[in-house]
Structure 1
Amino acid sequence: MAARGHVQDPNDRRLRPIYDYLDNGNNKMAIQQADKLLKKHKDLHCAKVLKAIGLQRTGKQDEAFSLAQEVATLEPTDDNSLQALTILYREMHRPELVAKLYEAAVKKVPLSEEYHSHLFMAYARVGEYKKMQQAGMALYKIVPKNPYYFWSVMSLVMQAISAQDEKLSQTMFLPLAERMVEKMVKEEKIEAEAEVQLYFMILERLGKCVEALDVIRGPLGEKLTSELQSRENKCMMLYQRLQRWPESNALAHKLLLKNPDDWQFYPSYFDSLFHLIDQSWSPPEEGEHCPEGAVHHTVAEVVRFVEDRIKGEDDKDSRALRGPYLARLELIHRLRERGCPEEAQLGEPLELMVQFFGKFGDKPCCITDLKIYLHLLSADQHVQFVNRLSEAVPLGEQGDEGFAFPDDTKALQRHLCVCQLSRALGLHHALDVEGKLRLIAELKAHYRHGLKFGANALKTELQFSDMYCLMAAHVYIDLWTDTGDEDMVWQSLGVLQEGLSHSPSNAQFKLLLLRSWTFTPAWTPSTYSTTPSGH
């Protein structure tokens, strides 16, 4: 029991066996022990509450509640009884009674920091935000600590969030919370990061982006250290809301210099560039471009910046980062959308994606990286692209089945990526019936061959070759869609069941199995069963 560690009175020795019985789940013995103790000490309220807990846990809720109320009406102030009643009310799902309990305790012991804090938390559990605010301020007056003051401020914010009248939130609750925090700021009493976060939340909800930006960029912003680049992320968000594109561009530029693989800042960098171009922005003749530093306001500057980041990755001895290479494809996409001729300076998308595959094709993320840029290829480049990728996949000699298989998981991942990109480009769908059946045979052969790489995998782990199995099932469904042959659906079910037997945790297999059953209108539970007849 949580309360046992707080027992300080002489009755600790008498109550300890009851706590032990409750802790061990021996509720009947706890009740019996409490009855014995109450015969000798009728006024030992905690024993009565502990008995009520035992009764509650044995299903005698009414009797337990009646017993608890006998103690509650006496308005106890000893820790043992209060905490035992709190546990009981929580198990009864009656948190509102905990608040009443501590309201009475606070009236009797008005200077107790512990009881006031328990009362605040009790209000929090039932969403009494107004009472939380009052309890927080009462606690702060007794013990002037920052956390208690900001409990009250947070209660105001919660009142604003939960208020049905948005006007009331904007004109009363949030402005009052803002004034309360500003008082602490002027007195230089802000201590913790959470207090700055709360101040920022208030200003953001009030739509005071300029004031919020001043806070983040000022001394208070230095306290934002728990999250990586928390200060920079907030600044970037505010710059975009305020449409301060020079600052947004310069900040993104600085952050990408530090970490060229941080993808979240590339879209901000490109967005700000095109906004600056649309606004015909030009830097001042003297001084810095903006408070954040130099601004790249021309396509040529941004192209050069991206190419410099790629050159830096190419010159590294260690493995390159994906960010700059993807940024180049993203920039081509955006320049093409706007009809900018500078797109040609960045290279041919087909060649760039082949290069990307050469560097990162053995990563599972390669397929999702390249898939969103396949639209950069023209229709007559699709087959050429897949053939070029296939040349970069190291496969062993052909086996008896006429297929060449990868010798390790990296080669397997490359081959999988090529197969998935082929499907994404529509090459699987373009095959005739015989072509699709040959493709299925190849995918199933690769799946079974790849199982050896996961021979020692746990049941909760996926097999390296699971995606082959999933694609084979999809091609079977394609055949059913094309030909109307329901046997293809049954074949799909068989493949998925085989895959599930090796990867019981594969959610994609399970979902497609459920979906596949809907493709078989002739199936009913009475016509198909996995259990032997008669059982």
Structure 2
Amino acid sequence: MAARGHVQDPNDRRLRPIYDYLDNGNNKMAIQQADKLLKKHKDLHCAKVLKAIGLQRTGKQDEAYALAQEVAALEPTDDNSLQALTILYREMHRPELVTKLYEAAVKKVPNSEEYHSHLFMAYARVGEYKKMQQAGMALYKIVPKNPYYFWSVMSLIMQSISAQDENLSKTMFLPLAERMVEKMVKEDKIEAEAEVELYYMILERLEKYQEALDVVRGKLGEKLTSELQSRENKCMAMYKKLCRWPECNALSRRLLLKNSDDWQFYITYFDSVFQLIDESWTPPLEEEQSLEGEVHYSIEQAVKFIEERITEESKSARPLRGPYLAKLELIRRLRCRGCNDEYKLGDPEELMFQYFKKFGDKPCCFTDLKVFVDLLPSSQYTKFISQLLEVIPLSAAAESEVALPADIKALQQHLCVVQLTRLLGIYHAMDKKEKLTAVRELMLRYRHGLEFGKTCLKTELQFSDYYCLLAVHLLLDLWLEEGEETAVWQCLTFLEEGLSHSPSNAQFKLLLIRIYCRLALMQNTYSTTPSAVLVISLT
């Protein structure tokens, strides 16, 4: 509700019980209290608005709106009434009425910083960007603060984004915004990082990439400190736009020397190396190789650099995934060029196996490796999966023939292998009997894995949820591809079971929705009885 800090005002003391009733959800008492107050103080506009809020919350929207309009017609300027009306209009989903409210207040109190700022925000909620610009400049004239000036600049950018005519955007709105910022730059009035970000955004949208780069590399760029490597990332983006591959390469190389686990810079490093190779680039004789330092412009240098990163990683206290994945990425790119064998980077199958041994207990291992499975020949899929299974510590339980993991790390390793098995199509190649056997094993593993998640909160997923999901997908294959009707009912049973243990699992919910919808659609196709469709939908 509205702020009630200055209790010295008698009206605040009178209104406090109504606020308390509304805050506690006792809307009927709030209405009664407002009526009592209005009998004694008929001109207490805020009490009328608070009564309207109570009426709105009890479902009497028409009465609430009529009462609010009575007060709004008087064009109130007291904070309590204005804030209460704002709350009411928000609950009515009528934000456009708030703009009229503060337009009237600004006319009556033209020098109020608070009312002008409220008016600007009201325009922002309804997307009135032109009026936002005018309100921002009016506010800046009253109180010459940088944020208010840049509110107006941002309004111009929003007008350019929402403009249907792209030419108008680039010839009027953005150039005007640029001139407004340049005025502040020349007067040395840029104070905040957000103001530099805004300037950069304008130049980028105007495709003035060199000017944007100069801003980031210059004095203004020193203000870009809130995000890690914000300045370097913006420089990199502009180097790419300008196709300045030597600088791209040198900067990404330098950043990887600082943090060899940052994947985005590996991609930029490889892109720039091969661009330089394709352009037959050579360093200048008497000048620096680039503004950002040393440049790698050959495959030999790239191979050596990646090997060095792996060597450095082996000395690190914390295992880093980036260098190992970068080696696989380099192999993939060299294969595309038909020159992988010359550099002896290793067998992808062995490299992926070693990666699994090092990081297989991490949930990210599957998503890391799935990008590179195309490096494996299809004839080696089964062998590769068997090789991975051999290094997982599993032990057969007395009551089960299936070897089960003894801890969460082993479970994560096995889950990674199971997901890779699905990805490589090994499950798909099975016949019906083998698939059903695999489903039983997966559900056995799922239920066993629930032991590790007994302390999980309802908002957390169980460690073994993916076993259940994979079992359901195998059953869906049987239903959709082979018409096995009993499979779909098993799917529903397993998903409901999974959802009972992991109420926050979105994949369980989405699959349930998909199956229920499909069943209802099929029933519509084969039956014209509405009740039958309803039964299927609710089953």
TM over 0.5: yes
CA distance in 2, matches of 1:249, 1:243: 11
* 1:490 CA drift (Å): 3.8
TM-score w.r.t. structure 2 length?
0.90
Query: Contact conserved, 1:4 with 1:19, CA < 8 A, in 2?
Result: no
CA distance in 2, matches of 1:437, 1:31: 64
Greater CA deviation, 150-159 or 510-519? 510-519
Q: Which residue is 2:364 aligned to?
A: 365
CA distance in 2, matches of 1:61, 1:433: 60
* 1:433 CA drift (Å): 4.1
Does 2:265 correspond to 1:265?
Answer: yes
Q: Which residue is 2:386 aligned to?
A: 387
Query: Contact conserved, 2:190 with 2:196, CA < 8 A, in 1?
Result: yes
Secondary structure, counterpart of 2:319 in structure 1: coil
Query: Contact conserved, 1:116 with 1:135, CA < 8 A, in 2?
Result: yes
Q: Which residue is 1:414 aligned to?
A: 413
1:115-126 equivalences under 5 Å are 115-126=115-126
Q: Partner amino acid for 2:470?
A: M
Greater CA deviation, 413-422 or 461-470? 461-470
Q: Which residue is 1:56 aligned to?
A: 56
Query: Contact conserved, 1:6 with 1:80, CA < 8 A, in 2?
Result: no
Q: Which residue is 2:145 aligned to?
A: 145
Query: Contact conserved, 2:200 with 2:215, CA < 8 A, in 1?
Result: yes
CA distance in 2, matches of 1:406, 1:233: 43
- In 2 relative to 1, CA 68–442 (structure 1 residues): closer, same or farther, beyond 3 Å? closer
* 1:491 CA drift (Å): 4.0
CA distance in 2, matches of 1:71, 1:485: 67
* 1:10 CA drift (Å): 4.2
Does 2:471 correspond to 1:465?
Answer: no
Q: Spell out, residue by residue over 1:157-198, the C-alpha distance to the aligned partner (whole angstroms, 9 max, x if none).
A: 112112222222111111111111001111111011111111
Q: Which residue is 1:511 aligned to?
A: 510
Task: Extract unaligned runs of 5+ from structure 1.
Answer: none
How many residues are aligned here?
A: 530
- In 2 relative to 1, CA 128–415 (structure 1 residues): closer, same or farther, beyond 3 Å? closer
- In 2 relative to 1, CA 451–50 (structure 1 residues): closer, same or farther, beyond 3 Å? closer
Q: Partner amino acid for 1:19?
A: Y
Q: Which residue is 2:374 aligned to?
A: 375
Greater CA deviation, 357-366 or 380-389? 380-389
Q: Partner amino acid for 1:312?
A: E
- In 2 relative to 1, CA 273–501 (structure 1 residues): closer, same or farther, beyond 3 Å? same
Query: Contact conserved, 2:2 with 2:80, CA < 8 A, in 1?
Result: no
Q: Which residue is 2:156 aligned to?
A: 156
Query: Contact conserved, 2:34 with 2:47, CA < 8 A, in 1?
Result: yes
Q: Spell out, residue by residue over 1:258-302, the C-alpha distance to the aligned partner (whole angstroms, 9 max, x if none).
A: 111111111111111111111111111123211111111101101
Secondary structure, counterpart of 1:16 in structure 2: helix
Does 2:25 correspond to 1:25?
Answer: yes
Q: Partner amino acid for 1:296?
A: H
Query: Contact conserved, 1:7 with 1:79, CA < 8 A, in 2?
Result: no
* 1:527 CA drift (Å): 7.2
Q: Partner amino acid for 1:458?
A: L
* 1:525 CA drift (Å): 5.6
Greater CA deviation, 15-24 or 342-351? 15-24
Greater CA deviation, 40-49 or 191-200? 40-49
- In 2 relative to 1, CA 11–406 (structure 1 residues): closer, same or farther, beyond 3 Å? closer
Q: Spell out, residue by residue over 1:96-143, the C-alpha distance to the aligned partner (whole angstroms, 9 max, x if none).
A: 332223222222222222222222222222222222212211111111
CA distance in 2, matches of 1:432, 1:65: 67
Query: Contact conserved, 1:160 with 1:174, CA < 8 A, in 2?
Result: yes
Q: Partner amino acid for 1:14?
A: R
CA distance in 2, matches of 1:353, 1:9: 73
1:270-419 equivalences under 5 Å are 270-316=270-316, 318-341=317-340, 344-397=343-396, 399-419=398-418
- In 2 relative to 1, CA 38–422 (structure 1 residues): closer, same or farther, beyond 3 Å? closer
CA distance in 2, matches of 1:503, 1:24: 33
- In 2 relative to 1, CA 195–343 (structure 1 residues): closer, same or farther, beyond 3 Å? farther
Secondary structure, counterpart of 1:50 in structure 2: helix
Query: Contact conserved, 2:7 with 2:13, CA < 8 A, in 1?
Result: no
Q: Partner amino acid for 2:85?
A: L
* 1:245 CA drift (Å): 0.8
CA distance in 2, matches of 1:528, 1:384: 44
- In 2 relative to 1, CA 121–273 (structure 1 residues): closer, same or farther, beyond 3 Å? same
CA distance in 2, matches of 1:88, 1:402: 65
**What percentage of aligned pairs have identical amino acids?**
72
- In 2 relative to 1, CA 274–457 (structure 1 residues): closer, same or farther, beyond 3 Å? same
- In 2 relative to 1, CA 516–177 (structure 1 residues): closer, same or farther, beyond 3 Å? closer
Secondary structure, counterpart of 2:400 in structure 1: coil
Greater CA deviation, 195-204 or 122-131? 122-131
Q: Partner amino acid for 2:471?
A: A
CA distance in 2, matches of 1:26, 1:507: 36
* 1:348 CA drift (Å): 0.7
Q: Partner amino acid for 2:466?
A: M
Secondary structure, counterpart of 1:301 in structure 2: helix
Q: Spell out, residue by residue over 1:67-119, the C-alpha distance to the aligned partner (whole angstroms, 9 max, x if none).
A: 33333333333323333333333333333332223222222222222222222
- In 2 relative to 1, CA 497–123 (structure 1 residues): closer, same or farther, beyond 3 Å? closer
Secondary structure, counterpart of 1:396 in structure 2: strand
* 1:382 CA drift (Å): 1.7
CA distance in 1, matches of 2:54, 2:445: 60
Q: Spell out, residue by residue over 1:455-483, the C-alpha distance to the aligned partner (whole angstroms, 9 max, x if none).
A: 34334333322222332333334445665
Query: Contact conserved, 2:519 with 2:537, CA < 8 A, in 1?
Result: no
Greater CA deviation, 457-466 or 491-500? 491-500
Q: What RMSD over aligned residues (CA atoms) do the two structures have, in Å? A: 2.7
TM-score w.r.t. structure 1 length?
0.91
Secondary structure, counterpart of 1:286 in structure 2: coil
Q: Partner amino acid for 1:92?
A: M
CA distance in 2, matches of 1:260, 1:458: 35
CA distance in 2, matches of 1:506, 1:122: 38
Query: Contact conserved, 1:358 with 1:392, CA < 8 A, in 2?
Result: yes
Query: Contact conserved, 2:177 with 2:202, CA < 8 A, in 1?
Result: yes
Secondary structure, counterpart of 2:225 in structure 1: coil
CA distance in 2, matches of 1:31, 1:471: 56
1:83-102 equivalences under 5 Å are 83-102=83-102
Greater CA deviation, 58-67 or 203-212? 58-67
* 1:330 CA drift (Å): 0.7
Secondary structure, counterpart of 2:461 in structure 1: coil
CA distance in 1, matches of 2:309, 2:182: 43
Task: Extract unaligned runs of 5+ from structure 2.
Answer: 527-531
Q: Spell out, residue by residue over 1:190-214, the C-alpha distance to the aligned partner (whole angstroms, 9 max, x if none).
A: 0111111111111111111111111
